[in-house]
Structure 1
Amino acid sequence: MTSLYRGQITLPVAPLGPDDPLPVPHRLLENPFELGANLPEQIRHGASFGRPRSMHPYLLQNNYTRTREPITLPTVVMDNGHLRATFTPTLGGRLWALADIASGRELLHANAVLQPANLALRNAWFAGGVEWNIGTKGHAAHTMAPMHAARLTGPGGVPMLRMWEMDRLREVVFQIDAWLPADSRALHVYVRIQNPGEHEVPMYWWSNAAVPEAPDVRVLAPATTAYATGYDGTISEVPVPVHNGADRTFSTHSTDAADYFYDTTGTTHPWIAAVDSSGHGLAQVSTARLPGRKLFLWGTGPGGQHWQRWLSPDGPGPYLEIQAGITATQFEHVMMPGRTNWDWVETYGDIAADATRAHDEDWDAATTHVAGRVDALLPDAGLDAVLTEARRGADRAPEEVLHRGSGWGALESLVRSRSGQQWIADDGGTPFAPESRGEEQLLWEALVGEPRRGQELLAAADPATPPASYVVGKFWEDLLSSTAPGWLRDYHLGVLAHARGDDQRAEECYRASLADRRSAWALRGLAQVAAGRGDHAGATDLLSDALALADDQPTMLLEAMSAAIQAGAPQRALDLAGGAPREVRSMGRVRLLEGFAAHAAGDRDRAEQVLAEDIVIPDVREGELALSDLWAAVHPGRAVPERYDFRMRHP
């Protein structure tokens, strides 16, 4: 009999902290890749569109440290006597753990700590479990944010967990239904994306499972070729399993970090599995809507191993990732028509294979055997029948609310009802209750529902306090334009124009905001526009003025120092750092820029002193080489110390 209940886990956590109040309307954190000429036209076409200008209106999550403290997190647990699945609705609905009860074997990399790191589209991300990614390439905006969650009755009468949210980037609603059928040895997951609008949108989805890595773990999928990235900025087609003289399906055979996107063309039910020397490990299989399969590995080089320890400092050991997506690679989007739903079923369970056969050097024999074991995990009626049954309950209203997510879906429901635009049914399977709206939605809710009160809130806003949140799109631009001018109205209009790439209009609005009342936020907006046209000296002046009004904003100081260095004025960058409050100027990333500025200014002693003090940057970026680059610049010819080595390619 399957049970579903609330639980909790207590573990060392580095608290996320508040969102960075400074918007990023003009750039993405993800770097582009160069596609090789030998890639199929379908992949090249899918990679040619859909990349957003930025993640606006989301704010960055970058106010965390490397200091951890015991914190208790709420969970939702499902148990059918064979498997125990643990979900964390406050952390993007992550499947934290999936345990085989009889053996006690954990099929996932269940992290022993919660340590954010800078790998997501909003910066903060943590390693482990199964993560659900929507929108565009990268770890999704909601990955460290709460999801709506509820209990209801699922297929076969067993209890089911539903989690859902609105993706603000694409303005779609997604839901994840998870259940454990009685006597099943596989977790069933139904995913649905709803585009209720009139217009088509670029779409992206990848389910990302972290599993234990060891020399005896082999990753198999029904493919003989893969599209490989090597973190050198390129992607190309390679053979599977042997590439450059080594069997790359064993992740420990690779020195450098890499992605292998397996070509599963022609597979009715695509799958991927990680099999160790006992024959056990996680298998994932889905219906045809989810054809992509990927292996990600950090590599055995010093940088990759440092990343493993950085993400799981007290963890159960190293990990690799097996993933499933709606495209062949993660560089592509597909256009999702308006008023359309897309859905599929995924299952997760122990492959329970014959290790000798799964590790056979004969790749065809190995994959044929594992494919048979994948089939044994599926219900007798097959995955397509499970999908049909799941669809019948997709719009069934929740029976018990377990957790509240963000208030943005509820605000969108209000906006669309007032403007006559299509939206999902408020009494359907993914309701966004009005009571979920909070402080972040306060101004916007008032502007839509109580215009006079909204105008009062705009007029009363204190320019010394950063705005609580941002919006995007023509509806809001038109609505704000219909209200009386003022510093906050004009500032938001500037950010809206900036987000759609109209820098001239953005500059006009920022200047109008400053003419009404001076604020650090509008000055910074002008600085971003100036930097965008290459005027780094002008950006430095504007950011210096902004810091005089808001010297407690680390991001603003970092931008000012970076602009000064780019403007060829490293001493000014050093002066800016010296004038910041102690708690800001002592931050690792500020110290890093101080080191670069000192080196550029010819002050080698100061640069050496910075490096000698063991810089710790909690949000060092995946693929970022700044620490090792500074070391190499200051200490040419000397090996990069392990603490500064985050390189994903062996030099």
Structure 2
Amino acid sequence: MVVMTTVRRAVLTLSAAPLGPDNPLPALHLLDGAAAPAVDERAALPRDMARQLGHAPLRTLLPTRVRDGYGRARTPVDLDAIVIENERLRVTVLPGLGGRVQSLFDKAAGRELLYRNPVFQPAAFALNGAWFSGGIEWNIGARGHTTLSCAPLHAAVVPAPDGGEMLRLWEWEPLRDLPFQVDLWLPADGAHLRAAVRIRNPHERAVPTYWWSNTAVPEDRRILAPAELAWQYGYERALRRVPVPAAPDGPDHTYPLRSTHAADYFYEVPDGRRRWIAALGEDGTGLVQTSTDVLRGRKLFLWGSGRGGRRWQEWLTEPGTPGYAEIQAGLARTQLEHPTLEPETEVSWMEVYGPLAADPAAVHGADWAAATGCVEEALGRVLPREEVEAAYALWRERSADAEPGAALAAGSGWGALEVLRGGYALPGTPFAEDQLGAEQRPWVHLLRTGALPEAEEGAVGRTPVSGAWRDMLETAPADPATEYHLGVAQWAAGDLAQAVRSWERGLKNASVRWPLLYCLAVADREGGHPRRAAERYAEAFEEQCGGDPLVTAALGRETATVLLETGAAAQARTVLERLPEEVRARGAFRFLEARLLLAEGRKDEARAVFDAGFEVADLREGAEVLGEVWARITDEPLPDAYEFRMRPS
């Protein structure tokens, strides 16, 4: 008897650090990704890669907010989950955390196919901050982990192409302003999870797009892909072409633990070759991922065996937990590229994930061509290429536009706002008016009346920044709140001078001045006027201090940092001392205290802060600042607890 596939709600209990609130300040800071990376042999690049390399990088994270309110204290927490199951596989999905596939359990073999993190510990790896390791994640927007990493997606049951049940996840991606969906299902007798993905561009303009599906696997596997060349990209931000499995001057990187330093390897899969990547253990078994040809890129990310990589692995889970590597699949050869999605078009494909067994002697042999050939042959036996292509065609015909049934989870209301404004028809992914919430109400009011509603001055909610919203703000009555939001939208569009003029106009009549002063301070800092920026930061903090405690902490941290960078240590000390004791006890502020003590010439006391121990919960991936400050205190080796450097010294 064949057991039918079921889709059901469940609860997953994990030791988890709470996400906490988003940073209340607008994400105005300009990103440093505008410059294309250094490239060896630029003239030899494939034409499409050369065209897309460094194309249309993000200027800012607007309209999103930075998610940095989490800590590192974990307690047992019940997380909403959705389980897709047949007699061969059990798939656990977390709709409230980016639709992450948290587990892919092979029931026949009795083993987990993914790296399954035993804890939920946010860390500053996503474009906008909070991210967590493990499972399969869906990255859309721009290079990096998506801003939706820890955000809820809409979820519902939809009829699958084979007549069974399928889970649909969908949301509106904010950075590129694009709706997308991920359909997950298991055929009744299937041993492989199918994931059909669609990204739509409903606009009358072309949009740079990006997609990389990211799968965490145990790092004691060999990673195999059908390629003899790869593009290596490390934390030195240089791209170079290297042979696979090993460069003449390096280790066999297909075994993640043989490398010392973290690096990306983007595999050059020849045109016409089946696209797949696998992570197989000593016995030749493990996980394979394959797809239709639209998803052309394949990548390995490894942490390496160096101190920094090991420390990051500990940081993302708990001591004693085995490490992981990432195998990924994307729309372009590398993650430094952003292909163009033409107006009123879409792109879609199918991915498949599941168990694979191949001859271990060949898999781990010295003959790379024999190893990959063996894996591809094994994949062809259990999952022929034609079967995947046929399943994709059937999904397009029967299921891609199928309307969802009863909701299993709710995402944000921002997609509903965009559909209300643009009147878009998006079969299969409803963004209905009943999804609109409090955050969207001011913008519905603007849409319907031509003006923002009267609001408490100083409220700094999220600003939609697309051209259509910017146009509406430009014609709305010019009160201080409108000038604030207009300036944010202009800043996001790259019209920096006009943004400053809007904020300066708003400042003239504002009774609550700190939001506009903050924006002008950031503009000064980004524009190369650090002392004026410091003055405006200090003025904004002086006015706001004592108001919303979330704003006070976020603004105080930035203000003290800028004052310290401009040599105003005494003013920075005053700002820090005005913050509540609970805030100053956090790791980020303890580190700021150490930097301030060093600036005051109190080196021994700065050293004592390090000796006492602190953890900067939102330390950015690849950050070297802890080591830099330590080196100013002492020439002793950096303690392991602070070793997060990801490149050769």
When normalised by structure 1's length, the TM-score is: 0.94
Which runs of structure 2 are paired with 1:50-129 in the superposition (5 Å)? 50-129=56-135
Q: 1:519 aligns with which of 510, 513, 516?
A: 513
Q: What residue in structure 2 maps to residue 405 of structure 1?
A: 411
Q: What residue in structure 2 maps to residue 483 of structure 1?
A: 476
Aligned to 2:483, the other structure's residue is in SS state helix
In the TM superposition, residue 271 of structure 1 has moved relative to its aligned partner by 0.4
RMSD between aligned residues:
1.7
Q: Distance in 1 between matches of 2:532 and 2:538?
A: 10
Q: What residue in structure 1 maps to residue 271 of structure 2?
A: 266
Aligned to 2:162, the other structure's residue is in SS state helix
Change (3 A) 1:267 1:57: same
Q: What residue in structure 2 maps to residue 609 of structure 1?
A: 608
17-26 vs 336-345, which moves further: 17-26
Q: 1:130 aligns with which of 107, 132, 136?
A: 136
Q: Distance in 2 between matches of 1:473 and 1:192?
A: 22
Q: Distance in 1 between matches of 2:138 and 2:504?
A: 41
In the TM superposition, residue 173 of structure 1 has moved relative to its aligned partner by 1.1
Give CA-to-partner distance per residue, 1:204-250, whole Å, 9 cap, x none.
Answer: 10000001112xx1000000111112211211111111222421110
In the TM superposition, residue 29 of structure 1 has moved relative to its aligned partner by 7.1
Aligned to 2:464, the other structure's residue is in SS state coil
Aligned to 1:365, the other structure's residue is in SS state helix
Q: 2:645 aligns with which of 609, 633, 647?
A: 647
Are 2:33 and 2:57, in contact at CA under 8 Å, matched by a contact in 1? no
Given residue 235 of structure 2, which amino acid in structure 1 is its aligned partner?
A: Y
Q: What residue in structure 2 maps to residue 424 of structure 1?
A: 425
In the TM superposition, residue 589 of structure 1 has moved relative to its aligned partner by 1.8
Given residue 6 of structure 1, which amino acid in structure 2 is its aligned partner?
A: R
Q: What residue in structure 2 maps to residue 223 of structure 1?
A: 227
Q: Distance in 2 between matches of 1:377 and 1:93?
A: 27
Q: What residue in structure 2 maps to residue 473 of structure 1?
A: 466
In the TM superposition, residue 47 of structure 1 has moved relative to its aligned partner by 1.4
In the TM superposition, residue 195 of structure 1 has moved relative to its aligned partner by 0.6
Are 1:185 and 1:377, in contact at CA under 8 Å, matched by a contact in 2? no
Q: 2:494 aligns with which of 467, 485, 501?
A: 501
Q: Distance in 2 between matches of 1:299 and 1:424?
A: 47
Given residue 342 of structure 1, which amino acid in structure 2 is its aligned partner?
A: V
Q: 1:541 aligns with which of 525, 535, 546?
A: 535
Aligned to 2:71, the other structure's residue is in SS state coil
In the TM superposition, residue 609 of structure 1 has moved relative to its aligned partner by 2.6
Change (3 A) 1:60 1:161: same
In the TM superposition, residue 145 of structure 1 has moved relative to its aligned partner by 0.4
Are 1:571 and 1:598, in contact at CA under 8 Å, matched by a contact in 2? no
In the TM superposition, residue 477 of structure 1 has moved relative to its aligned partner by 2.1
Q: Distance in 2 between matches of 1:547 and 1:354?
A: 65
Change (3 A) 1:4 1:315: farther
In the TM superposition, residue 51 of structure 1 has moved relative to its aligned partner by 0.4
Q: Distance in 1 between matches of 2:472 and 2:144?
A: 32
Give CA-to-partner distance per residue, 1:113-172, whole Å, 9 cap, x none.
Answer: 100000000110000000001111000111110101110110111210011111122121
Aligned residue pairs: how many? 635
Q: Distance in 1 between matches of 2:172 and 2:32?
A: 21
Q: Distance in 2 between matches of 1:617 and 1:267?
A: 47
Q: Distance in 1 between matches of 2:230 and 2:205?
A: 33
- Identity between Structure 1 and Structure 2 (%): 40
In the TM superposition, residue 387 of structure 1 has moved relative to its aligned partner by 1.2
Indicate yes or no: 2:358 matched with 1:353: yes
Give CA-to-partner distance per residue, 1:391-450, whole Å, 9 cap, x none.
Answer: 112111112221111101100011113xxxxx233xx20001211111111110121135
Given residue 16 of structure 1, which amino acid in structure 2 is its aligned partner?
A: L
Q: Distance in 2 between matches of 1:208 and 1:306?
A: 21
Given residue 101 of structure 1, which amino acid in structure 2 is its aligned partner?
A: K
Change (3 A) 1:605 1:289: same
Which runs of structure 2 are paired with 1:322-337 in the superposition (5 Å)? 322-337=327-342
Change (3 A) 1:436 1:29: farther
The 4+ residue runs of structure 1 with deviation greater than 4 A are 29-33
Q: Distance in 2 between matches of 1:550 and 1:615?
A: 28
332-341 vs 553-562, which moves further: 553-562
Q: Distance in 1 between matches of 2:121 and 2:320?
A: 10
Given residue 594 of structure 1, which amino acid in structure 2 is its aligned partner?
A: E
Give CA-to-partner distance per residue, 1:184-203, whole Å, 9 cap, x none.
Answer: 11111100111111111111
In the TM superposition, residue 41 of structure 1 has moved relative to its aligned partner by 4.3
Q: Distance in 1 between matches of 2:246 and 2:575?
A: 53
Q: Distance in 2 between matches of 1:202 and 1:130?
A: 23
Aligned to 1:303, the other structure's residue is in SS state helix
In the TM superposition, residue 108 of structure 1 has moved relative to its aligned partner by 0.6
In the TM superposition, residue 604 of structure 1 has moved relative to its aligned partner by 1.3
Q: 1:306 aligns with which of 311, 314, 339?
A: 311
Change (3 A) 1:460 1:185: closer
Are 2:171 and 2:179, in contact at CA under 8 Å, matched by a contact in 1? yes
Given residue 462 of structure 1, which amino acid in structure 2 is its aligned partner?
A: E
Aligned to 1:247, the other structure's residue is in SS state coil
Change (3 A) 1:602 1:60: same
Given residue 435 of structure 2, which amino acid in structure 1 is its aligned partner?
A: S
In the TM superposition, residue 380 of structure 1 has moved relative to its aligned partner by 7.9
Q: Distance in 2 between matches of 1:399 and 1:579?
A: 53
Aligned to 2:357, the other structure's residue is in SS state coil
Change (3 A) 1:563 1:238: same
Q: What residue in structure 2 maps to residue 146 of structure 1?
A: 152
Q: Distance in 2 between matches of 1:502 and 1:142?
A: 26
Aligned to 1:589, the other structure's residue is in SS state helix
Q: What residue in structure 2 maps to residue 577 of structure 1?
A: 576
In the TM superposition, residue 30 of structure 1 has moved relative to its aligned partner by 6.0
548-557 vs 54-63, which moves further: 548-557
Q: Distance in 2 between matches of 1:510 and 1:583?
A: 33
Q: What residue in structure 1 maps to residue 187 of structure 2?
A: 181
Given residue 620 of structure 1, which amino acid in structure 2 is its aligned partner?
A: L
Change (3 A) 1:269 1:550: farther
Give CA-to-partner distance per residue, 1:495-522, whole Å, 9 cap, x none.
Answer: 1122222222222221222222233211
Aligned to 1:5, the other structure's residue is in SS state strand
Are 1:83 and 1:99, in contact at CA under 8 Å, matched by a contact in 2? yes
Are 2:35 and 2:54, in contact at CA under 8 Å, matched by a contact in 1? no
Q: What residue in structure 1 maps to residue 392 of structure 2?
A: 387
In the TM superposition, residue 561 of structure 1 has moved relative to its aligned partner by 2.1
In the TM superposition, residue 482 of structure 1 has moved relative to its aligned partner by 2.5
Q: Distance in 2 between matches of 1:634 and 1:504?
A: 41
Given residue 515 of structure 1, which amino acid in structure 2 is its aligned partner?
A: K
483-492 vs 173-182, which moves further: 483-492
When normalised by structure 2's length, the TM-score is: 0.95
Q: Distance in 1 between matches of 2:93 and 2:272?
A: 30
Q: Distance in 1 between matches of 2:32 and 2:407?
A: 34
Are 1:91 and 1:147, in contact at CA under 8 Å, matched by a contact in 2? yes
Give CA-to-partner distance per residue, 1:304-350, whole Å, 9 cap, x none.
Answer: 10110110116741110000001101000111101111011100011
Indicate yes or no: 2:617 matched with 1:618: yes
Are 2:53 and 2:338, in contact at CA under 8 Å, matched by a contact in 1? yes
Q: Distance in 2 between matches of 1:315 and 1:84?
A: 26
Given residue 394 of structure 2, which amino acid in structure 1 is its aligned partner?
A: E
Q: What residue in structure 2 maps to residue 420 of structure 1?
A: none
Aligned to 1:622, the other structure's residue is in SS state coil
Indicate yes or no: 2:256 matched with 1:256: no
In the TM superposition, residue 381 of structure 1 has moved relative to its aligned partner by 4.5
Q: Distance in 1 between matches of 2:32 and 2:346?
A: 29
Q: Distance in 2 between matches of 1:189 and 1:315?
A: 32
Q: 1:462 aligns with which of 448, 457, 464?
A: 457
Q: Distance in 2 between matches of 1:88 and 1:111?
A: 13
In the TM superposition, residue 34 of structure 1 has moved relative to its aligned partner by 2.2
Are 1:439 and 1:468, in contact at CA under 8 Å, matched by a contact in 2? no
